[in-house]
Amino acid sequence: MSEPVIPAATESGQPTAYLHSGWTRRVVGYVLILVLVNVMVDSVLASPTFVLPQLSEAFHTDQFAWIGSSAMLAGAMWAPLLGKSADINGKRKILVLTLLVAGAGGLVCLIAPHIIVFVLGRVLQGAAVAALFLTVALVRDICAPKFAMVVTGLVTSGSAVFGIVTPFILEPAVHAFGWRVVFVISASFAGLATLLVRFVLPESRITTPGTVDVKGALVLGGGLAAVLVYISLGQVFGWLSAFPILVLLAGIAALIYWYRVLSRRPEPVIDIRGVSAALGLGLLVVVMGTGAYQSMLQLFSLLVEVAPDEGLGYGIAGPAALGLMFGVPSIGIMLGGTISGAVAARKGPALTLAAGVLAGVIGTALMLLAGAASLPLAVVCSFLLSLTAGSLVTSGFNLASILAPRERQGTVSSMVMVMVAVGSVTMNFIGSAILGATRVVHDGEPVNSSFGVHSYIAVAGAVFLLAIVPTILLVRRMGDHVVTGAPISHL
């Protein structure tokens, strides 16, 4: 079978590489490998949510937000450094590195004797967050612009196919082998993906001469992490207690120092002043929408542990509840990402981003009305929210791809991933704080109250509603823009 390719042009119009513009066996093989990489990412980020109660019991902690979000928080630290490094040193090379680090993190979690070592393992696993945006950046190196949008939808959401059966496999596996089996699986996926990426995928044809500002990356990542850590520590030690306040001030000081000094260097790790208005609006929608969705995903893992007949006013435990809540909605992620990629190639990613936000508003509204106590309705709500997840992530990356030159795809894609990480961590901790502040005593034990659960859902819904404002502004600004190979950073 012949391979349709088109010459890729730089801003000067000179061809620099040949890009695939249609499906061939080789492209299918590349896509399958990139999907496998993102299966590993899902196993790092989502699989631990299946065993949150077991992890809380094993490490004697009720800070489930730390367990579920530590890898995503670490991803916010990793992303700027790895994104810039990928543009300079080659995306495949850096992707292999992230897979090795993530695999090592899974092994650390597997043998962790206490919570401190476990969180350290999750920090290493956070490198997997970079793997997601690097797969998207590699797609742009392999495919022509319009075709790349379709492929991006498949790469970012194709891993959801495995999510359909994962809960039905994990439930008996966890019952038989315990919570550690989750990390055995993630480390195994990381090892397999490393080999395939290294020996099958092509290296980046376009790189950017320069150096990586390691100091700037560490200061920026550390500042982000410190602010997010405050959100977690505040609910434990008190929002105005000395230690959390010191952590917050240190984070703010680091971010100010990075912005006022380090970001003005000739080659900053992220050129924040070069962010266009359209990209800024898109990033704002992503941080709000994905944050709201991830917080709801965390809530679902708690609701399936409570039976409706316990009389708490919430709870959806029942036969195959775990499989239904986390398996069936995987179809929604796959559909949301795939359809968004195909539509964006014709209409642009702004409209598909708007569709994702709308699905999130509807899903949380239904969940607030009755879904927290009805398994069938909860499954419908989870499906709608998964459409949101697939659409927002795919559309965010596609928007970044058309607003940045090819040689900066790694850096700009890392900005999208930072927004996903910041939104997810922030909303997860806020949700945890809401539940912790509204607990009641039931049969002699502290449990989440109905008021707390419904307040949690209401906050997520409010964030989706607020996301409508930048979405409308983005759609107006992008207008009828047609996707081409040239960046449109002026928007």
Q: Give which of 161, 195, 147, 124 is closest to 35, Cα–Cα.
A: 161
Most confident of 47-56, 250-259, 426-435, 472-481: 250-259
Sequence-ordered list of residues with C-beta below 8 angstroms from that of 332, at least 6 positions apart, any chain? 160, 382, 383, 384, 385, 386, 387, 389, 390
CA 482 to chain centre: 27
Measured between alpha carbons, how far is 421 from 75 in angstroms, rounded to an integer? Answer: 6
Give the Cα-Cα-Cα angle 166, 98, 251 (nearest 5 degrees).
100
End-to-end CA distance of the chain: 40
Q: Render pLDDT for 52-96 as a digit per residue (tens, 0 to 9).
A: 777 777 776 666 556 656 777 777 778 888 888 888 888 899 999
Mean predicted lDDT score pLDDT of the chain: 82
Split at pLDDT 50, 70, 90, the class of 5 is very low
Split at pLDDT 50, 70, 90, the class of 117 is confident
DSSP character string of 301-340: HHHTTS-GGG-SS-----TTHHHHHHHTHHHHHHHHHHHH
Tell me whether residue 377 is exposed, middle or buried, using C-beta atoms within 10 angstroms of its C-beta: 0 to 12, 13 to 18, 19 or more.
middle
User: What value does the mean pLDDT take over residues 150-171?
Assistant: 79
Sequence-ordered list of residues with C-beta below 8 angstroms from that of 57, at least 6 positions apart, any chain? none
pLDDT at 110 over 90: no
Q: Give which of 31, 82, 87 is closest to 405, Cα–Cα.
A: 87
Residue 388 token pair: 């949101």
CA dihedral defined by 339, 340, 344, 345, rounded to 10 degrees? -40
pTM of the model: 0.82
The amino acid occupying position 322 is L
Angle, nearest 10°, between helix axes 181-200 and 160-177?
140
Q: Render pLDDT for 228-272 as a digit per residue (tens, 0 to 9).
A: 778 766 666 677 778 888 988 999 999 999 998 888 888 888 888
Residue 407 token pair: 């040689």
User: What value does the mean pLDDT take over residues 162-186?
Assistant: 76
pLDDT at 10 over 60: no
DSSP character string of 4-50: -EEEEE-TTS-EEEEEE-S--HHHHHHHHHHHHHHHHHHHHHTGGGG
Q: How far is CA 331 from CA 147, 230, 317, 377, 388, in A?
A: 22, 35, 21, 16, 12
Tell me whether residue 14 is exposed, middle or buried, using C-beta atoms within 10 angstroms of its C-beta: 0 to 12, 13 to 18, 19 or more.
exposed
Q: Determine contact, residues 56/67, Cβ cutoff 8 Å.
A: yes
DSSP character string of 246-281: HHHHHHHHHHHHHHHTGGGSSS-SS-GGG--HHHHH
Report helix, strand or coil for 348.
coil
Poorest-confidence range of 242-246, 351-355, 362-366, 460-464? 242-246
pLDDT at 14 over 60: no
pLDDT at 474 over 60: yes
